[in-house]
Amino acid sequence: MSIYLSKSSVFVKIATIGTIILLAIIALTLITTNKNYGVIGGIILGILISGTVFYFYANSLDKIILEKDVIILKKNIGQINIPNSHIVEVQKLGYSNLTMTYGSKGVFGFIGNTMDDSVSFVKDRRNMIRITTKNKKYILSSERLDELVNEIKTRYKNV
């Protein structure tokens, strides 16, 4: 079993902290400025912010685990198992802006779906790979990218 961590880039850290602070300031401003509807609006906005932050935190990739017959994408909450028999191709990607159809554009990473129907779990756009399976494409990032790609290709011969 090999473990590869997925670390956040400086941009992702700044985007996450900045967005959370900005949204908290907006919610507090609503609560304190308008006594009639501000409290209700602030509470509703606070609930929406908390739910969104939790969702993107939960789906943020923590590590990639290579086991004998499966690649495990371990998120902060939950995981995705990719059997090696389903892997069609693994390729290293260059730096990209990741055009998203929906998802996070930097808060806890680039999490969601991209324009090419890939599922994105990217925390560092300079260290990305795409794992293509029979049914889906996954884009993810790892701090030791070259080692990860080499190990996947040698461990799973059908790639």
**pLDDT tier for residue 158 given thresholds of 50, 70 and 90:** low
Percent of the chain with pLDDT over 70: 93
> How many other CB atoms are there within 10 angstroms of residue 18's CB atom?
12
Average pLDDT over residues 80-98: 86
Question: What pLDDT score does 157 carry?
Answer: 63
How far apart CA 57 and CA 67 sit, in angstroms, is 25
Say if residue 96's pLDDT is above 70.
yes
Question: What pLDDT score does 146 carry?
Answer: 87
Say if residue 159's pLDDT is above 70.
no
Token pair listed for 50: 């908390």
Average pLDDT, the chain: 85
pLDDT tens readout for residues 28-65? 777 777 666 666 777 787 788 888 889 889 988 999 99
SS (H, E, C) 60-109: CEEEEEECCCEEEEEECCCEEEEEHHHEEEEEEECCCCCCEEEECCECCE
Percent of the chain with pLDDT over 90: 19
**pLDDT tier for residue 102 given thresholds of 50, 70 and 90:** confident
Question: What pLDDT score does 79 carry?
Answer: 93
The residue that leads in pLDDT, 26 or 15, is 15
Query: Helix 10-33 to helix 38-58 angle, to the nearest 10 degrees?
Result: 160
pTM of the full predicted structure? 0.81
Class of 1-159 in CATH = mainly beta
pLDDT tens readout for residues 120-135? 999 888 889 999 998 8
